[in-house]
Amino acid sequence: MTGRATGSAPAPEALAEAAAAAHAPLLVGSGLDRSNALALLEHARGAIVGTALKRGGRVEAPVDEARVRALAELFRAARRAR
Amino acid sequence: MLGRMPELLSRRRPALIGVVHLAPLAGAPRYRGALAPVLAAALRDARALVRGGCDALILENFGDVPFHPGSVPPETVACLARALEALRAAHPRIPLGVNVLRNDARAALGLAAAFELEFLRVNVHAGAAASDQGLLEGRAFETLRERARLCPRTAIWADVHVKHVVLGRRSSRTRRWPNPRRSSPGARWPMR
């Protein structure tokens, strides 16, 4: 499930509604970043992340390994919370 | 999402799927005339994603704007194949998928068959959506039949509510989700 554009997140309540209606695992398809990851991941099996992992959060920039590591850390925290 | 669920999504922790955005490929208006730097950049991004801790990678022909609303041309599939080959060789144990933008599930299935991809993403699988590329039409009828024939182990990740589209009369301003009793996830018409 996506927000309205590349880099924009779906609303957590829309995600929850879709998760309840879906007969399959749900992924966040856009806009997940460090600020909203834990809220969004409450309703999803994971996320497809592009922009937030780029240097400066700019979609045209190269991937920034430090940003990946920071987000992966949050995902591991989410695992313990589930 | 629908279809076969890879082990990736069955773990107790959420999966982080990193996107490898390809620079413009041969045939695209912004193509710079050589594929080698495009592949090198993709490999650098993939390496950072894997080393940083991503659980899977998905490849997109992101630079090929403006996108074809239907089938992509053969040169796009050929370039994507070169990139997938490079990614598989560099990261043989990482689950890999593709999204052939803007909505070519049939091309993605061909690539999935050739590279035994774990998953593919399709932005409009069911229903239809008006986008900046024009009308995107879901081809679930074809995609599911062809998957059965070509790559039954590949999962199809279908967007529920894809970005960059206006969905009929759906009230995107209020961000209201269509009534789930009237439209299954992925179905976009009718939109009242």
Q: Please work out, in degrees rounded to the nearest 5, the angle formed at the alpha carbon of residue B138 by the alpha carbons of B136 and B143.
A: 130
Which of chain A's residues have a Cβ under 8 Å away from the Cβ of B170?
none
A61 at interface of B, judged by CB pairs closer than 8 A: no
A6 at interface of B, judged by CB pairs closer than 8 A: yes
pLDDT in the model for residue B144: 97
Does the interface predicted TM-score (ipTM) exceed 0.95? Answer: no
Cβ distance of A24 and B5 shorter than 8 Å: yes
Cβ distance of A24 and B3 shorter than 8 Å: yes
Which of chain A's residues have a Cβ under 8 Å away from the Cβ of B15?
27, 45-47, 75
Which of chain B's residues have a Cβ under 8 Å away from the Cβ of A79?
11-14
Residue with tokens 């024939």: B149
CATH topology of domain B14-162: TIM Barrel (3.20.20)
By C-alpha distance, the chain B residue nearest A79 is B13
A81 at interface of B, judged by CB pairs closer than 8 A: no
pLDDT in the model for residue B177: 38
Cβ distance of B14 and A44 shorter than 8 Å: yes
A77 at interface of B, judged by CB pairs closer than 8 A: no
Q: What is the pTM of this model?
A: 0.87
Q: Which residues of B104-132 are buried (b: 16+ CB within 10 A; e: fewer)?
A: bbbbbbbbbbebebbbbbbbbbbbbbebe
Alpha-carbon distance B156 to nearest alpha carbon in chain A (angstroms): 11
Amino acid found at A50: G
pLDDT in the model for residue B2: 38
pLDDT tens over chain A, length 82 residues = 888 788 788 888 888 888 887 778 899 999 999 999 999 999 999 999 999 999 999 999 999 999 999 999 999 998 644 4
Which of chain A's residues have a Cβ under 8 Å away from the Cβ of B57?
none
pLDDT tens over chain B, length 192 residues = 434 445 788 888 999 999 999 999 999 999 999 999 999 999 999 999 999 999 999 999 999 999 999 999 999 999 999 999 999 999 999 999 999 999 999 999 999 999 999 999 999 999 999 999 999 999 999 999 999 999 999 999 999 876 666 654 443 333 333 333 333 333 333 332
Cβ distance of A18 and B44 shorter than 8 Å: no
pLDDT in the model for residue A34: 95
pLDDT in the model for residue B170: 43
Cβ distance of A2 and B163 shorter than 8 Å: yes
pLDDT in the model for residue B171: 36
Q: CB of B30 within 8 A of CB of B66?
A: no
By C-alpha distance, the chain A residue nearest B40 is A62
Q: How many CA atoms lie within 13 A of B85 on its CB side?
A: 8
Cα separation of B97 and B99, whole Å?
7
